[in-house]
Structure 1
Amino acid sequence: MALKIGDSIPDIELKDQHGKIFDFSSLKGVQPFVVYFYPKDFTPGCTKQACSFRDQYEEFKKLGAEVIGISSDSEGSHAKFIEKYDLPFIMLSDKDKKARELFGVKPNLLGMVPGRETFVFDMQGMLKYRFNSMNATRHIPEALTALEKMK
């Protein structure tokens, strides 16, 4: 079942790049946040997307939002990805694809590639915007526009 506009963030815990448990409920009531799902660390499109989020990270911070990337890669892979590309945001490991299922992120290209989808939540953890595109760089302006509209 896919998340719909107005739904609350699923109650889920995943490990971050340091192997620590990250609980999405910790962001509720604190700040808006952007959650983006991507296929795989170090692939060309995913690297371009992560670096675009990095390059615009200050814009997200100015809007009071945190950015969180999720893929099925391991915590160790995320740590290397973050170090190599100087990524300033949280990366979560969804090895069993539990988060993908709860958010309703479908695979692309005949089910061969994990989906690329971005979700924008308000400060209360309510979904305000959802964007699905394999075009990696389109996610950043879409998310920023959604956050600006929430202000």
Structure 2
Amino acid sequence: MTESAGLAVGETAPEFTAPLVHPDGTTTDTPLSELLAERPVLLSFYTVDFSPDCIEEWCSFRDFDWFASGEQVSVVGISKSGPRLHRSFIDRLDLGFPLYSDPNLDVAKAFGVDYRAFKLFSRSRRSCFLIDTDRTIRYRWVGEHWLDPTRDTPPVGEIHDAIREELGDPDTEQFGMGGF
């Protein structure tokens, strides 16, 4: 991939509202700003539910206890899969993360991570954006596989370290306080 994909660190994340499937199975039309009112969000774009690489990705987030705790940052997925499939995906993998539905890839386009696989199929690049409470992108990782950027799997340990570096140590008093 020769072109740079995705919004850059320091840019403002676009506001959007989309169906969000919660771990309890409920679905609400939720603006990003509503999630950001609570804490920073790690927004993770992936292709579709139940593809083997996506199962691996979400199991990695689930199994990395720091992400699963949700105390410092909310991990939120987004793919073109619909709410019904998201509910099955959350149940089957026992995920504690909400998942946005972006069937027309409008959000992926706004973040600059949409592309056409083999010039045929619209997809979102596998990518992660750490968005602070002011909607500023503080960290990004974008899959850059030469043939299919959905094959890259987010390096969960690296993302964890980058988030801790950007947001500070959760054990200090200043974590999450006015640092955004």
Asked whether the two chains share a fold, i.e. TM above 0.5, the reply is yes
- State the match for 2:66 in structure 1: 59
Matched ranges for 1:86-101 at <5 A:
86-101=94-109
- Select the structure with the greater relative contact order (CA < 8 A; seq sep ≥ 6): 1
In 2, the alpha carbon distance for the partners of 1:35 and 1:42 equals: 19
In 2, the alpha carbon distance for the partners of 1:137 and 1:2 equals: 15
In 2, the alpha carbon distance for the partners of 1:130 and 1:137 equals: 10
Contact map agreement 1:29 1:123 (CA 8 A) in 2: yes
Paired residue secondary structure (1:78): helix
In 2, the alpha carbon distance for the partners of 1:44 and 1:94 equals: 20
Residue identity matched to 2:126: R
Residue identity matched to 1:149: E
Residue identity matched to 1:48: E
- State the match for 1:12 in structure 2: 16
TM-superposed deviation, 1:22: 1.3
Question: 1:143 and 2:159 equivalent?
Answer: yes
Q: TM-score, normalised by structure 1?
A: 0.88
Decide which structure has greater helix share.
1
- What do you get for the CA RMSD once the two structures are aligned? 2.0
The higher radius of gyration belongs to 2
Residue identity matched to 1:59: W
After superposition, the Cα gap between the structure-2 partners of 1:29 and 1:53, relative to the gap in structure 1 and judged at 3 Å, is same
TM-superposed deviation, 1:4: 1.9
Instruction: Tell me which stretches of 4 or more aligned residues in structure 1 moved more than 4 Å.
Output: none
**Size of the alignment, in residue pairs?**
149
Residue identity matched to 1:120: L
